[in-house]
Amino acid sequence: MSYLGRAQLGQTICPYLQCVDASGSPVLPDDPPQIKIRASTGNIIIVAAEMPLVERFVQTGLFKYPLYLGSQYTTGLYEVNYYYRSGAHYGLESDNFEIVPAGHADGQVLNMHFYNRPHAQFIVYGTETGAIVRGRKPTVR
């Protein structure tokens, strides 16, 4: 088990998996590995998916799953489990990561525009998830 680190809402983490056979040598599994992510406080599975292969001809059996920490996550500790099969060998690996209280589920602001109108002042901004948000009467402190 390894610790993937701390992250905030709106960030992306990338859990990696190196598939190995019974002797510990890198191997390409029979099927894509499964990744399951659950909160450490319960048995509710948040993500259950197959992991895509990375650099097939450079590193044998290396997989990566880009995981965006959106609105389905809250602060706390999460457990990541990987399952794979290669011939008669069944592999099980696990990691964990922590979401700290910071950030926003929509991600970071990518663009922002100020509108000055006779009746009010507005700021319109777009986030990493594609959300367009409008604010009224901004002030600088």
Count of the separate structural domains present in the chain: 2
pLDDT at 141: 56
Q: What is the pLDDT of residues 29-48, one digit of tens each?
A: 999 999 999 998 877 888 89
Q: What is the pLDDT along the chain (141 residues), one digit of tens a residue?
A: 789 999 998 889 999 999 999 898 999 999 999 999 999 887 788 889 999 999 888 889 999 999 988 888 888 999 999 999 998 899 999 999 999 988 777 777 888 888 888 888 888 888 877 888 888 876 665
Annotate 60-87 with b (16+ C-beta within 10 A) or e (fewer): ebbbebebebbeebeeeebebbbbbebe
Tell how strand 89-103 and strand 2-9 pair up: parallel
Statement to judge: residues 17 and 43 lie in one domain: yes
The answer on 74 and 117 residing in a single domain is no
Give yes or no: residues 17 and 61 share one domain. Answer: yes
Residues 71 and 86 in one domain: yes
pLDDT, position 140: 62
**Do 125 and 92 share a domain, yes or no?**
no
**Cα–Cα distance measured from residue 47 to residue 70, given in angstroms and rounded to the nearest whole number:** 12
Asked if 25 and 92 sit in the same domain, the reply is yes
Give the structural domain span for 133: 106-141
CATH (domain of 96):
2.60.40.1220
Residue 9 in tokens: 């809402």
